[in-house]
Structure 1
């Protein structure tokens, strides 16, 4: 049996479509801030390497900003232990508002947003914290957005969980869908008990530092 040395996504550039959704973020609705439609689903590439994904990701946009939703199926064996040191789940989203493909170090248009979910002691409520962090080895840092700008919501479901995040234009330096309708995009979803999930290649490569390894999002009208 031959051993696969490189993930299949290494051999091609992943480009996904992200449709325009005028209704986000939803106002005055405590239940959902995005509720993105099925047309916003990002392709699942895990099957290329014989793996099965446990979370799906949706991305929608409008001139006000970018919405990202993660829906996880099931739980890890010890997920419902409150106050685990590693948290309930973590997510990292990398976004390049210029989709730069010919540089190996992040520019001022490259952003890293990290989300951490924790389970309350009632075992029914998910708390979420999101912050923007600098990218290592960047040639220039994007302005750091105040956490108060980042709208978010986490929800524990009967058999899984859901997380929604809206990044407003003010939090995305250089966000201009009219003149730059393609974004660099990558993510990592972790829950401590299941295999990390990525779009395209994973942490076997310097994904977090090198925007040329990120996938692309076409902002469709």
Structure 2
């Protein structure tokens, strides 16, 4: 049996698919398409794991949805101590290719708590955290610009956030399509689960442990227009085929081949 966790041996690049109706789904409380579900190499990706994480994006921003199930007790939390509360912590580097061993001004931490806000600590709340030993702290996040939704359900909860472009420092899809991220679900009953690396390493302060999130222009697998959807459709015969000879009616003249070093 290996003494080194498999997740520590690699840093994965996770596709984040374009979801055109992402905002409507989150506002209605419906999940993203199944193809948006992450399956990390950590325990969070094991079959039967009580945590489901989904990501998606479109021009309006980036969506994160986390569902926690099979809890025997309702979640508890306090927004003044979010790292100890039942809920989700999201680390996001808006310039993923610049990840080093220390966080910079592009590295952000958000806590998505199903409870812990309000005077009685029962309201859902989103708050910004600080990354230890950061070379430069990220600017304050205008939390009012982030759409945040939480729903308590029997045996668990769901939290979802839609982060618009411009809400985070450097968050511009025209300039960068590769982010780095880590998601941790803190649970008072079962302990913590994380999407990358291992809980024994300093993932909370070292962005080099985080995985990459690659924004893709295609819809999620299984959705109309996705890569596997197009691959499953029968190929159309070229429109210039002669129906009797099964050959092109007229061939286009070939251009002269150019040798290496020639111009024109």
Which residue is 2:74 aligned to? Answer: 80
Residues 10-65 of structure 1 show CA distances to partners (whole Å, capped at 9, x for unaligned) of 111122111112323229x8532x63111211114245998852101001112221
Which residue is 2:126 aligned to? Answer: 130
Q: What is the TM-score when the length of structure 2 is the normalising length?
A: 0.70
Q: 5+ unaligned residues in a row in structure 2: which ranges?
A: 218-264
State whether structure 2 residue 7 is matched by structure 1 residue 9: yes
Q: Helix, strand or coil: the match of 2:125?
A: strand
Residues 152-176 of structure 1 show CA distances to partners (whole Å, capped at 9, x for unaligned) of 1111234432111111213221122
Higher relative contact order (CA 8 A, sep 6+): 1
Q: Please identify which structure carries the higher strand content.
A: 1
Which residue is 2:141 aligned to? Answer: 145
Q: Specify the structure having the higher radius of gyration (Cα).
A: 2
RMSD: 2.9
State whether structure 2 residue 201 is matched by structure 1 residue 205: yes
Change (3 A) 1:104 1:127: same
Deviates further, 193-202 or 210-219: 193-202
Q: What is the TM-score when the length of structure 1 is the normalising length?
A: 0.82
Which residue is 2:111 aligned to? Answer: 114
Aligned counterparts of 1:94 and 1:137: Cα–Cα separation in 2: 14
Residues 194-219 of structure 1 show CA distances to partners (whole Å, capped at 9, x for unaligned) of 13111121331110111111001110
Verify the 8 A CA contact 2:114 2:151 in the aligned structure 1.
no
Which residue is 2:152 aligned to? Answer: 156
Which residue is 1:123 aligned to? Answer: none
State whether structure 2 residue 212 is matched by structure 1 residue 219: no
Count of residue pairs brought into register by the alignment: 210
Q: Helix, strand or coil: the match of 2:215?
A: strand
Aligned counterparts of 1:112 and 1:218: Cα–Cα separation in 2: 19
Aligned counterparts of 2:184 and 2:44: Cα–Cα separation in 1: 17
Which residue is 1:104 aligned to? Answer: 101
What is the CA-CA distance between 1:138 and the residue it aligns to? Answer: 1.1
